[in-house]
Amino acid sequence: MSDLRSLYQEVILDHKKRPRNFRLMESADFWADGHNPLCGDKMTVFLKIDDEIIKDVSFQGEGCAISMASASLMTEIIKGKSAQEAECLFSKFHRLMTDDGLTHTSGLPLGKLEVLAGVKEFPMRVKCATLAWHTLHTALDHSNQVVTTE
């Protein structure tokens, strides 16, 4: 179990140090700002959508290793998916993070996102892990507004 936990920590630190899709997208169709006042995490998620398919996704901001790794992993996973598939992933990931009875992701295939499952052991950090996802959810609503984890 300690080897698995160590691997998860390595993945999280790698995505914090070298976040994927971390850039301003000037031609974004939709965007949303997210803020977690408890930890100080702030980010903007940008989307380029064509025919309901997420053609490009990026984010910018600053935050703890968990929030930045979650945003980086999220952008990798949703690129090329439909908006509906991204919303489904949001629901599954949110359930993984918040459902006390859910101890593993059987029936909820989340791929690389499963490295964040251990965050649930630290309730104050769940908001860090879900910030990018709530921000994505707001951007997918085409509302271009600010979301907070409060």
The answer to whether residue 52 sits within a structural domain is: yes
Using a cut of 0.85, tell me whether the model's pTM lies above it: yes
The answer to whether residue 150 sits within a structural domain is: no
Chain-centre distance of CA 51, in angstroms?
23
What CATH number should be reported for the domain holding residue 65?
A: 3.90.1010.10
| Greatest mean pLDDT range, 58-62, 93-97, 119-123 | 58-62
In terms of DSSP H, where are the helices of the chain? Answer: 2-17, 65-78, 83-98, 123-140
CB 40 within 8 A of CB 125: no
The pLDDT value given to residue 1: 53
The answer to whether residue 38 sits within a structural domain is: yes
What element of type H or E holds 62? strand 53-62
The answer to whether residue 92 sits within a structural domain is: yes
Cα–Cα dist 143/124, whole Å: 27
- Give the model confidence (pLDDT) of 46-81 as tens digits: 999 999 999 999 999 999 999 999 999 999 999 999
The pLDDT value given to residue 98: 86
For residue 105, the enclosing domain spans 2-145
Q: How many domains does the chain have?
A: 1
Contacts of residue 101, Cβ cutoff 8 Å, sequence gap at least 6: none
The pLDDT value given to residue 3: 64
The answer to whether residue 120 sits within a structural domain is: yes
